[in-house]
Structure 1
Amino acid sequence: MKQYILNKKYWAPLAFLGMMCCALLFTSCDNSDSASKSIAVSKVFLEDVNSSVPDREVSFVRLGQTIRIEGSGFTGLKKVYINGYSTYFNVVFVSDNSIILSVSADTPTIEADPGERNTIRFVNDNTETVFPFQIRASRPTISSISNTMPNPGEKITVAGSGLTEINKVVFPGNVTVTTGITSDPEGEFFTVIMPNGVSDIGGSLFVEGSNGGAYSPAYFNFKKGLLLNFDGSGSHGYWGTSTSMIQPEDLQSTAIGTGTISQGKYVPHRPARIASFDAAKNRCTEVWTAGNGVDNWRAQLTPYIPANTALDKVAFQFDMYVPEVWQDSGFLKLCMINNFNGGEWTGACYNFVPWILDGKSTAVRTDGWVTVTIPLNKFYAWSKEAYTFETVLAFREAATYQNFGIYFENSDIKLKDVTGTDSTVEFPSKATSVKVYTDNWRIVSLNTPTYNDFPN
């Protein structure tokens, strides 16, 4: 009887204690199960509210982007490593079937450990899962090409950013190169050999590497835009017997340059008959196209570059070779028409002074022929407002003398004229015997096709 009373007296607290123990036991088992449960990934989605497809299934992600990962077993997740980099995630955005996280800009890509590169590793208390997934840096871009009209077999350098591990280059005419490409580890440039069969209509280079694809401006091998190459494309204009006028006999044809070689005839802006240029002299030499009745930019160019093209998307290009150091004095004046006496820093001309860099005199020399690109909106007459190519076409058509030409000038230079900003710095001219050669004068398009990671 006493035993019965005792059991009854303590039954309630003992029962409660038992229930608590059972609850703790089940909770412990549940947590243990979650921590040991393997994670499975089924799909990855890019989250981009600015895209027409804000939740898109993808096979890669770029640094700084946000992804949603679908699968199972994410409950209890402790760590996420992307390319070996510990990546923050907010537990609020974790469920058993998905996780949302952003890829840090500090995540390594090509510099990641080879065993961890292009992986996402999920870690909980007792298990981990490694999911293969491509991680890319920012989109690659192309800013310049060392020579946009090289001979087949010559090596060119393509500069820009994000140009890592380039494995394919497609030249105009759909000529594809996949071998002989050397990439800078930092992605600032790559080199490739100019193949045979590239279209002379020209266009953009398309390249692919570990960061995806990119296009160059549509100026590569655009031979339809040649104004003058001294070998039959365009006509060389000359007249009179002045010392400054470049005559046909002043042109040279001996092969010169290393890496990228001269192409037939070219113009020396200090021909052999002139030993040197005096200081404070303008219009030291001049070389022209034939002009009236021969030059017809509208007929030649607008089938490829429409007249309504914005002027910052049209450029004058030429190839240049400077075998010895050019510094401190001298510049090339690009003249849109034959209406300049020399020394101007206004009007339809542009003064090319390559040795002034960041406000200082810098040595310039080239091993081979390099391409110079001057957007037409850099010409002083059209540098202050937005114009179209039609403005230039109409200006030339209205001119009395429609020759396009280049002077070599050797006058004093004010830095403010070069940069367009206030400065008291000046570069007094000096006598010079510098050698500067040009060839392949041409008008080109700077339009760049848009590369989309996810084409429709």
Structure 2
Amino acid sequence: MKIIDKKLFFLLLMLFPLFFASCEKDNENESVIINSVWSNTNGVESTQINSCFTTQWIRLEGSGFDGLKEIYCNNVKATFSPILNTSKYITFQVPSGVPIEREITDEAIKNTIRIVTTHGEYTYRDFKFKDKNKMPGINSVSYTLPKPGEKIYLDGLYLDATTEIYFPGPSGEVAATDYTIVNDKRIEVTVPAGVGSVSGAIRIVADGDIYYSPSYMFYTQGIFLKTFLETDVMVPSSTGVYTYANAKVYSDPVQIAALTGLTNNPDNIIAIPEVAKNIATTTSTSISSNFFKFYAYKGINKIIANSNGAITTASKLENLAIQFDLYMKTPWNSGVIAFKMNKNNSGKNAQYIYNVAPWTTTTPYTFTNGWRTITIKFSDFPSLALGTLGSYITTTTTGNFEAMIAFANVDMNADGHTPQALTNFQMYVANVRIVPTTTPN
């Protein structure tokens, strides 16, 4: 065995630190660059991404990360732990306060991740940060059975970022090209030609992402009261075929247009009261006039039989709503529409009653653009146990379970609104139906 000279051995020991220092120096001089960004959620396979939510953990891949000093997301400083980083990887959590794209005017910092090291910095661009508390969304549609050419409203949150709108059509989606962003909570849109025969959701593109309305647009298959003469749903009376109290059905389009003053109307409407009249305020919650009655459970069974499996006895009530179309010539500023699944209940907390009063003391409910759709989710009914539609039908067939839609000029909700006397009042109702409230993924 050859023995190394002692002097050579000590010389090598002295040179080793210089060698490693040289290697570290080479790493520090390596160009700083971010090549890609990856998701980094525990238990979930990592994928390359070009956007993420605030507070999400992400991983940067690149080179020259030694000597990392700072990380900025849209110019907001992020914290990091050195033990999670190497010269090629940086893992950190996006700060909660990162502004989203629409909140930034400075193009130099918009959609950027910037890292600063002891030997340089790098800015990664076109990476979008999203905030779950600031996501655009359509909460409701003003009229869900409109005709092409009519204007409707999409109401929701952060809608001012919308750049595209699509309606469901028979051969696929149809783009709406005529729309106005009223504010961040409302869009006015003209219904495009070629739609109305197929139900579905309205789709918008906002901030480059896709969002949907509930899937109840043009949901005609859910209608169980269309003519208000349905022998299988309406309640017979002792003196006539059906039970109306100071209400009248109209099916002649000329008569309907004369009543409403509108060009586009439903095929059939029921007017309440039969003739426009002055209505005084009252303190009684007992309804003796201005109503029509029907059997809700018969209407629901009718829908189940005709929906081709879209709505069944197994459908969850939390995913369903009742809708009807409404129009008044003047702004609605007093009284309620009492929607009673059981007419024998009264008050505001009964589980089968919902009192519709979208107006407030200072803000009347207006009918700009014509007909409006009233949506009552089953989850809106106070204290109603949310099960399946089948179990709900069972509960509504017991006893004298007649349903009712009525108008009463009283503070039925006991929420402090002062009723006002109404002059020459009349309202028009059309197309009572059950609809889905789910949104596409």
After TM superposition, the score normalised by the length of structure 2 is 0.76
Kindly provide the amino acid, as one letter, of the partner of residue 95 in structure 1. T
Assess if the C-alpha contact under 8 Å between 1:342 and 1:409 holds in 2: no
**Residue aligning to 2:60:** 69
Matched, 1:312 2:318: yes
Kindly provide the amino acid, as one letter, of the partner of residue 198 in structure 1. V
**Residue aligning to 2:156:** 160
**How far apart in 1 are the matches of 2:354 and 2:431?**
18
Q: Where do residues 279-428 of structure 1 align in structure 2 (5 Å cutoff)?
A: 279-280=282-283, 282-288=287-293, 296-301=302-307, 303-327=309-333, 329-336=334-341, 339-340=343-344, 346=350, 348-355=352-359, 362-368=363-369, 369-379=371-381, 383-397=383-397, 404-413=403-412, 415=414
State the Cα distance separating 1:373 from its structure 2 match: 1.1
Q: Structure 1's 161 and 335: CA in aligned 2 closer, same or farther, altered over 3 A?
A: same
5+ residue gaps, structure 2: 1-9
State the Cα distance separating 1:80 from its structure 2 match: 2.7
**How far apart in 2 are the matches of 1:283 and 1:72?**
79
Matched, 1:82 2:73: yes
**How far apart in 2 are the matches of 1:94 and 1:321?**
63
State the Cα distance separating 1:396 from its structure 2 match: 4.8
CA RMSD of aligned residues (A): 4.1
State the Cα distance separating 1:135 from its structure 2 match: 1.2
Assess if the C-alpha contact under 8 Å between 1:137 and 1:162 holds in 2: no
Secondary structure of the corresponding residue to residue 339 of structure 2: strand
**How far apart in 1 are the matches of 2:38 and 2:97?**
21
Secondary structure of the corresponding residue to residue 80 of structure 2: coil
**Residue aligning to 1:225:** 222
**How far apart in 1 are the matches of 2:158 and 2:142?**
17
State the Cα distance separating 1:341 from its structure 2 match: 8.7
Q: Where do residues 29-44 of structure 1 align in structure 2 (5 Å cutoff)?
A: 36-44=29-37
State the Cα distance separating 1:24 from its structure 2 match: 8.6
State the Cα distance separating 1:443 from its structure 2 match: 0.8
Matched, 1:58 2:49: yes
**Residue aligning to 1:266:** 269
Q: Structure 1's 61 and 346: CA in aligned 2 closer, same or farther, altered over 3 A?
A: closer
**Residue aligning to 2:212:** 215
**How far apart in 2 are the matches of 1:65 and 1:99?**
14
State the Cα distance separating 1:411 from its structure 2 match: 3.8
**Residue aligning to 1:253:** 257
List 4+ stretches of structure 1 deviating above 6 A: 22-26, 29-32, 231-238, 290-295, 341-344
**How far apart in 1 are the matches of 2:98 and 2:156?**
21
Identify which of 412, 422, 425 aligns with 1:432. 422
**How far apart in 1 are the matches of 2:384 and 2:140?**
24
What is the aligned length? Answer: 412
State the Cα distance separating 1:95 from its structure 2 match: 1.0
Q: Structure 1's 243 and 176: CA in aligned 2 closer, same or farther, altered over 3 A?
A: closer
Kindly provide the amino acid, as one letter, of the partner of residue 175 in structure 1. E
**How far apart in 2 are the matches of 1:308 and 1:293?**
17
Kindly provide the amino acid, as one letter, of the partner of residue 145 in structure 1. V
State the Cα distance separating 1:151 from its structure 2 match: 1.7
Assess if the C-alpha contact under 8 Å between 1:204 and 1:218 holds in 2: yes
**How far apart in 2 are the matches of 1:26 and 1:236?**
90
Assess if the C-alpha contact under 8 Å between 1:252 and 1:268 holds in 2: no
Identify which of 91, 107, 115 aligns with 1:100. 91
State the Cα distance separating 1:150 from its structure 2 match: 1.8
**Residue aligning to 2:142:** 146
Q: Structure 1's 131 and 396: CA in aligned 2 closer, same or farther, altered over 3 A?
A: same
Q: Structure 1's 168 and 232: CA in aligned 2 closer, same or farther, altered over 3 A?
A: farther
State the Cα distance separating 1:292 from its structure 2 match: 10
**How far apart in 2 are the matches of 1:131 and 1:233?**
65
State the Cα distance separating 1:146 from its structure 2 match: 2.2
Secondary structure of the corresponding residue to residue 159 of structure 1: strand
Assess if the C-alpha contact under 8 Å between 2:154 and 2:187 holds in 1: yes
Deviations 1:133-156 (A, max 9, x none): 421313534322222222223333
**Residue aligning to 2:175:** 177
State the Cα distance separating 1:64 from its structure 2 match: 1.9
Assess if the C-alpha contact under 8 Å between 1:316 and 1:375 holds in 2: yes
**How far apart in 1 are the matches of 2:256 and 2:282?**
25
State the Cα distance separating 1:246 from its structure 2 match: 1.2
Kindly provide the amino acid, as one letter, of the partner of residue 389 in structure 1. L
Q: Structure 1's 184 and 55: CA in aligned 2 closer, same or farther, altered over 3 A?
A: farther
Secondary structure of the corresponding residue to residue 406 of structure 1: strand
Secondary structure of the corresponding residue to residue 422 of structure 2: coil
**How far apart in 1 are the matches of 2:419 and 2:401?**
30
Deviates more, 1:72-81 or 1:341-350: 341-350
Q: Structure 1's 245 and 290: CA in aligned 2 closer, same or farther, altered over 3 A?
A: farther
Kindly provide the amino acid, as one letter, of the partner of residue 364 in structure 1. Y
Kindly provide the amino acid, as one letter, of the partner of residue 355 in structure 1. W
Q: Structure 1's 442 and 249: CA in aligned 2 closer, same or farther, altered over 3 A?
A: closer
5+ residue gaps, structure 1: 1-14, 416-424, 452-456
**How far apart in 1 are the matches of 2:183 and 2:338?**
38
